[in-house]
Amino acid sequence: MSSHGASNTTTTTHLNKRESAGVLEVEYANEVWYLVAGVIGVALVIHALSITWAWYARRSARSQDNVQTAQPPKGAASLWNVPAAVLTASRIGFLRWRLPFTELTVVEALLTVIYLVALLVWEFVTTLDLTPKSWANRAGHLAALQMPLLVALSSKNSVITAITGIGHEKLNIMHRILSRCILILTWVHLWGRYRINAASMLNEPWKRLGLAAGIAQTLLTFLSIKSLRQMCYEFFVASHIILVLVFLTTLQYHCYMAGFAFYIWPCWIIWAIDRFGRLGRVLLFNFILRVRDSKARVEPLGGDTTRVTLRRRVLGGWTAGQHVFVSFPTLGPGQSHPFTIANVAPEKGSQEAEMVFVVRACSGLTRKLLQRAEEYGKHELPVTIDGPYGCPPDLSPFKTCIFIAGGSGVSFVLPRMIDLFRAVSAGKAHARRVVFVWAVRAESHLEWVAPELAYALTSAPPGLSFSAEVFITAANAASLQVLEKTASLDADVGSPIDSTSASRTPSITTEARAPGTPSPSSEKFPEGEETPVAPASVESDLEAGKREAADAWMLSTLARRVGRPNLHAILEAEIGVAQGPVSVDVSGPDPLVDSVRSALSSGFAGPMAVLRGAPTVQLNVEQFRM
């Protein structure tokens, strides 16, 4: 009797322990969700604050435009500048500094460490002396519950992008980080089950499927390591799709048997919404909203580059700096590659418009595209697009906007600059100073975006101080003389900053145009009816030869320099005299982007300078990779 009672007590204690372990597991699972919701909430608040600040800055800029207020003197530290100095310090510390040997910013690295540590604490806290029975299944539970988030972070059409303003290409970094955290939990789960009873690990089909899911997930994660991914991207994409399907299907059954299927169903739903969203756009913009000529015009340009032009009716247009996924079914069936739209959308957003892409040849489809263009010259190819995607930051609140591009990075910064000019002309943006710096290897590379660049040079609104410089980095001695000559011809039109800085290059300043002098644009570019503002209309309105002559004339007014730009000096000079917030857009090769990051982390743009009245600087980087 007493032994029976003792055994009852043991069973009850055991059940209580199991019950309380189950309760704890659910509690910790909920806490993981609170953490995730908290992080997304912080991103949402930052997004909302930046929208509110942009609105406020535009409003106060408008009132300052009407009543010219004296700017507070720079030099002495002021308590009023403390919030701006704190903002600057956090931008530098969290967003501009990178961890050595990784592409992670400090904020991304910190988030990763905090998240992983939090997961491991939830995994092992109150685990009854670390006996595997108390943590093995919890690891599986914690891993499974993050699956919907993992899929959402990989989506092109995601609610997270909609509420935080973070584009899919940036969320992809978090997708990779999260997948590694989940993999660690999966391994802990498998190790725990092995420690409990190795023989019972595979004694039922659902357990075997669980192991299969773990193997698929391990392969998935390893094959997405940067070096492997870059070595053969198409293999990565194909293997990713197959392994994801294997992983989700096996996991679905495993979790169903374990009582957690409700974590996996949402993954299929999120994935399906994304896929249907993409399919819907492809059908709408390529087949339903038909255009007269749906093929892409492909032409070879110098420097391993191809220019692709196509026409589409994109409802609502696109925001300058956005990209689309382009597919050439006859060249690379099943492949779609992201390219930034190098021109601006027509102002009436939904009309048929030309989209221009400047494509640098790598070794896959882009190389094939170039080879074909070199073989056939200018020719046409069937094409479909999916997009537009991306959330380029708003430039309307900034007084000084600096655009820096290296090579094909001009596809990102040039349309953003043209768009800014439009917004200033329409009174929707308040830039007073715009600087454009483009580093190219050869002068012939100016052809890549000749019509857009020529258009930009003529569309700077009156009253805006505008400086445009091109740096030819691989020019030889002969071209050096020619270029210096060109530069000196331009030297009579200087912006305020150029007149104070002898080392700076000559620039085009719209203020310098004599009153009554017709703008070059009105002389050269009659406006088309379909796309009155976009440079795309140039081609349809002028014969090719005439257009080239117009572009050449326009580009001859552009200041050129030989050698690499001294970005530190340029930024220091501009920020030193800037009145009001400054934005810097940069796109191009890593060394160029790194030098901008490092310049903007140094003294003249640092928190101490801001405390003494220097402007805050927002840095927008586009590096053409995910």
Give, as ranges, the residues between 130 and 189 that touch ligand FAD (CB under 6 A): 169
Stretch that binds ligand FAD, among 120-128, 226-234, 347-355, 419-427 (CB under 6 A): 226-234
Q: How far is the CB of 249 from ligand FAD (least distance, A)?
A: 25
Nearer to ligand FAD, 209 or 359 (CB): 359
State the Cα angle at 378 between 373 and 382, rounded to 5°: 75
Q: Should residue 537 be labelled a site residue for ligand FAD when binding is judged by CB under 6 A?
A: no
Q: Should residue 606 be labelled a site residue for ligand FAD when binding is judged by CB under 6 A?
A: no
CB-count exposure of residue 463 (10 Å: 0-12, 13-18, 19+): exposed
Span between the terminal Cα atoms of the chain, in Å = 69
Element (H, E) at 621: strand 617-622
Stretch that binds ligand FAD, among 32-40, 351-359, 469-477, 557-565 (CB under 6 A): 351-359
Q: How far is the CB of 273 from ligand FAD (least distance, A)?
A: 21
- Applying CB under 6 A, among 360, 416, 433, 597 the residue interacting with ligand FAD is 360
Q: How far is the CB of 523 from ligand FAD (least distance, A)?
A: 31
Q: How far is the CB of 228 from ligand FAD (least distance, A)?
A: 10
Give, as ranges, the residues between 409 and 428 that touch ligand FAD (CB under 6 A): 411
Number of residues that bind ligand FAD (CB under 6 A): 24
Q: Should residue 371 be labelled a site residue for ligand FAD when binding is judged by CB under 6 A?
A: no
| Separation of alpha carbons 19 and 410, rounded Å | 61
Stretch that binds ligand FAD, among 31-39, 105-113, 246-254, 352-360 (CB under 6 A): 352-360
* Inter-CA distances, 7 with 10, 18, 149, 284, 619, Å: 5, 16, 44, 69, 68
Q: Should residue 587 be labelled a site residue for ligand FAD when binding is judged by CB under 6 A?
A: no
Strands 433-440 and 337-340: unpaired
For residue 412, give the nearest of 103, 53, 169 by alpha carbon: 169
432 three-class SS: coil
Nearer to ligand FAD, 53 or 233 (CB): 233
Q: Should residue 625 be labelled a site residue for ligand FAD when binding is judged by CB under 6 A?
A: yes
Q: How far is the CB of 171 from ligand FAD (least distance, A)?
A: 12
Q: Should residue 307 be labelled a site residue for ligand FAD when binding is judged by CB under 6 A?
A: no
Q: List phi, psi (to 5°) of 346.
A: -65, 155
Q: How many CA atoms lie within 13 A of 48 on its CB side?
A: 7
| Separation of alpha carbons 378 and 544, rounded Å | 13
Q: Should residue 32 be labelled a site residue for ligand FAD when binding is judged by CB under 6 A?
A: no
Nearer to ligand FAD, 519 or 623 (CB): 623
366 three-class SS: helix
Q: How far is the CB of 408 from ligand FAD (least distance, A)?
A: 5
Q: Cβ contacts of residue 201 below 8 Å, gap of 6+?
A: 190, 193, 194, 207, 211
Q: Should residue 458 be labelled a site residue for ligand FAD when binding is judged by CB under 6 A?
A: no
Give, as ranges, the residues between 320 and 339 that touch ligand FAD (CB under 6 A): 323, 337-339
| Separation of alpha carbons 164 and 46, rounded Å | 8
Q: Should residue 408 be labelled a site residue for ligand FAD when binding is judged by CB under 6 A?
A: yes
Which H, E and C letters describe 142-162, residue by residue? Answer: HHHHCHHHHHHHHCCCCHHHH
DSSP E strands in 316-432: the ranges are 323-327, 337-340, 352-360, 379-381, 384-389, 400-406
Q: Should residue 366 be labelled a site residue for ligand FAD when binding is judged by CB under 6 A?
A: yes
Nearer to ligand FAD, 189 or 311 (CB): 311
Residue 11 Cα to chain centre, angstroms: 57
Greatest C-alpha distance within the chain: 112
Residue nearest to ligand FAD (CB): 364
- Applying CB under 6 A, among 53, 97, 191, 233 the residue interacting with ligand FAD is 233
Residues in touch with ligand FAD (CB under 6 A): 169, 229-230, 233, 323, 337-340, 357-360, 362-367, 408, 411, 624-626
